[in-house]
Amino acid sequence: MASTPKIGDVIADFRLPGGRLDGETFRRADYALSAQRGRPLVLAFYPGDDTPVCTAQLCSYSDGLAELESAGAAVWGISPQGLDSHEEFARDRGLRMPLLSDEGRTVAKSFGITAPLIGLRRSVFIINGTGRLHWKHVTALGATYPPPTVLAAQLSALTTA
């Protein structure tokens, strides 16, 4: 298994299928890291759609999305489930950020966060506008995740650095 990237590392480009709830429509598209160059990106890897902790995490990020976007960032949720599962999850919970499908766990492997039984470790990475890792939170197995206020503070540090 690869190790997690270090702060300052350039993150390799990737492309994943995903979708975003836009009113009543779940708009499916491919999402590429390289398309986000020039602005920060929050990647929230989570083990599964519609599970208790993942639901709490993604709902908190959706509720805090305006604050994170006002800091100039995009926020993507990434898990191993397919787009149909993501669509149902987004609709049931009113999630407003794109949910990306890493069914083969290729991207999770490149970040060094795959795990037996649960598929991947709950992890959040903030990538700056030049594609370098600015901040990360990687759990061993736990149910902890950084709240939107912590992410907003890290994004604020990017603009004052």
pLDDT band at 160 (very low <50, low <70, confident <90, very high): low
In the set 42, 43, 44, 54, the catalytic residue is 54
* Three state DSSP letters for 91-107: HHHCCCCCEEECCCCHH
| Gap between the Cα atoms of 121 and 112, Å rounded | 9
| Active site annotation includes 59 | no
pLDDT one-digit tens code per residue, 11-57: 999 999 999 999 999 999 999 999 999 999 999 999 999 999 999 99
Domains of the chain: 15-160 (3.40.30.10)
Task: Report pTM.
Answer: 0.95
- Neighbour-count burial for 36-62, b at 16+ CB within 10 Å, e otherwise: beeebbbbbbbbbbebebbbebbebbb
pLDDT band at 115 (very low <50, low <70, confident <90, very high): confident
pLDDT band at 143 (very low <50, low <70, confident <90, very high): confident
